[in-house]
A = this chain, B = another copy of it.
């Protein structure tokens, strides 16, 4: 079983002229694979399609991508498949080639071995100091320009801290380095507006949609550190973890409450990831 496919072929290296390397000119998706089944795949492919439109890049054929994911992760067990779509090779200079030939890179990784307590008791978080720059033209999509997240994740080494939250240049809470953020206050759900920066997580959208179906009010809005202080419940989401309740931020303790528990239960019932 190959663990890397590049444009459908088993390989481990890519041309150094690839624009993904030179400029971060491309997109990625991180897909959970359970029992050979890619989770939320239509949502991942939809976001990829949207990202390609935003970057004016051709979208690879969805069926081909789906087949290649299956080829990487046959059989039982849990895996992560990372899909990278770059604009392909190019000459020197920023101008994209007139007829780009995107490279399609799929890499399978072992399932991350997070402790069960992350779901049962919750995780400890911190605030990162590096801000997220604001650029509505790059917000939402999962592009390859991720130095801010790299530097944010470099800010702590303590293994007991599971995630760091990032604020934008204007002091709005936006997201974790690898997750989206939700707060609960008076049984309503609040999650940051990501129209100016941040990633539109597919699990974030799933949770928003399902919460609304359950009759939970959802507010997509500007959030600040003060809102984090005042929250009744806090949780994080991404495609691999589903959601993690937050139990501690600095001196502040949180107890996973009814909204977090209801959504966690739903995730399990629906077998989403």
A146 touching B146, Cβ below 8 Å: no
For chain A residues 56-73, which have a beta carbon within 8 Å of chain B? 56
| Given A22-B144, A96-B154: A135 in contact with B169 (beta carbons within 8 A) | yes
The residues of B that contact A144 with a CB separation of less than 8 Å are 21-24, 147
In the docked arrangement, what's the CA distance between A24 and B152, Å? 14
Please determine whether A146 and B22 come into contact, CB atoms closer than 8 angstroms.
yes
- In contact, A145 and B16 (Cβ under 8 angstroms): no
Decide: A147 and B143 in contact? CB cutoff 8 A: yes
Whether A135 touches B107, Cβ cut-off 8 Å, given contacts A4-B16, A21-B84, A23-B24, is no
Number of interface residues of A (CB under 8 A): 59
Return the chain B residue nearest A135 by Cβ: B133
Copies of this subunit: 2
Q: Which of A6-14, A201-209, A223-231, A250-258 contacts B (4 or more CB under 8 A)?
A: A6-14
Q: Which residues of B contact A133 (CB under 8 A)?
A: 133-135, 138, 169, 197
Contact B153 A93 (CB under 8 A): yes
- How many angstroms from the CA of A23 to the CA of B144 in the assembled complex? 5
Shortest Cβ gap from A4 to chain B (Å): 6
How many angstroms from the CA of A133 to the CA of B146 in the assembled complex? 13
CB of A55 closer than 8 Å to a CB of B: yes
Residue of B nearest to A54 (CB): B151
Chain B residue numbers with a CB within 8 Å of A56 are: 154
> Known: A133-B138, A147-B55, A154-B96. Contact between A22 and B28, CB under 8 A?
yes
Please determine whether A153 and B22 come into contact, CB atoms closer than 8 angstroms: no
Q: Contact: A153 with B94, CB < 8 Å?
A: yes
Structural contact, A146 and B145, CB atoms closer than 8 A: yes
Asked if A131 is at the interface of the complex by the 8 Å CB criterion, the answer is yes
State whether B23 touches A14 (Cβ < 8 A): no
Is A18 on the interface with B (CB-CB < 8 A)? yes
Expressed in whole angstroms, the Cα–Cα distance for A149 and B22 within the complex equals 12
Query: Is A115's CB within 8 Å of the partner chain B?
Result: no
The closest CB in chain B to the CB of A107 belongs to B16
Give the complex CA separation of A19 and B150 in angstroms: 10
Note all chain B residues with C-beta closer than 8 A to A21: 14, 18, 20-21, 84, 86, 105, 144
Verify if A175 is at the interface (C-beta below 8 Å from B). Answer: no
Interface residues in A22-76 by Cβ distance below 8 A to B read: 22-25, 28, 30, 55-56
Q: Considering residues A11, A12, A22, A109, which has the most beta carbons from chain B within 10 angstroms of its beta carbon?
A: A22
List of B residues within 8 angstroms of A25 by Cβ? 146-147, 150
Across chains A and B, which 4 residue pairs bring their CB atoms closest together, nearest first?
A: A133-B133, A24-B24, A13-B13, A133-B135
